[in-house]
Amino acid sequence: MNHFIVSFLVITVAGSSNLEAPAFLEHAEPAVGSTVQKSPGAVRMRFSEKIQPASSTIQVFDASGKEVDKRDVHLDRSNKALLCISLPPLQSGTYKVVWRAVSFAPPLAQGSFTFRVRWVFPGSLDARIDLRFEQVLTQATT
């Protein structure tokens, strides 16, 4: 009987070390908290595990709370851990990404982050300031 109990405990402890953790967000494009110079065509989120597309979501909202994505959440064809959603052309502003990723290992992972679109047109004051700042940084590092 004691051998049975010891064997059961060894199997239970050894088996628990093989449990998988839920998927976690490894990388996002646009990056979490970033400012991009033009409207991205999509939000792409790479997770640590393969994702179940039917149960996973990404939504993108503008500052007023209006959903602005194309509602076409899909996995990348070559990477089943890369969840994507298409975007129409976005205006300058701050956008919130709300996501839920269901992998094949419970529980689900979810979260949100923001990114900012800041259009900079060639010849504009912002573009000239950015160019000048880049020149100053280049001179300072040489």
pLDDT per residue over 12-50, tens digit each? Answer: 444 443 455 678 999 999 999 999 999 999 999 999 999
User: 142, 104, 113: which is closest to 45 by C-alpha?
Assistant: 113
Residue 42 and residue 82 in contact, taking contact as beta carbons nearer than 8 Å: no
Helix, strand or coil, per DSSP, at residue 126: helix
Residue 52 has pLDDT above 50, yes or no: yes
Query: What are the residues facing 35 on neighbouring strands?
Result: 116
Residue 76 and residue 82 in contact, taking contact as beta carbons nearer than 8 Å: yes
**The pLDDT value given to residue 19:** 52
**The pLDDT value given to residue 93:** 96
In angstroms, what CA-CA distances link 119 with 40, 57, 98? Answer: 11, 27, 23
Rounded mean pLDDT of 115-128? Answer: 71
Its pTM surpasses 0.75 = no
**The pLDDT value given to residue 59:** 98
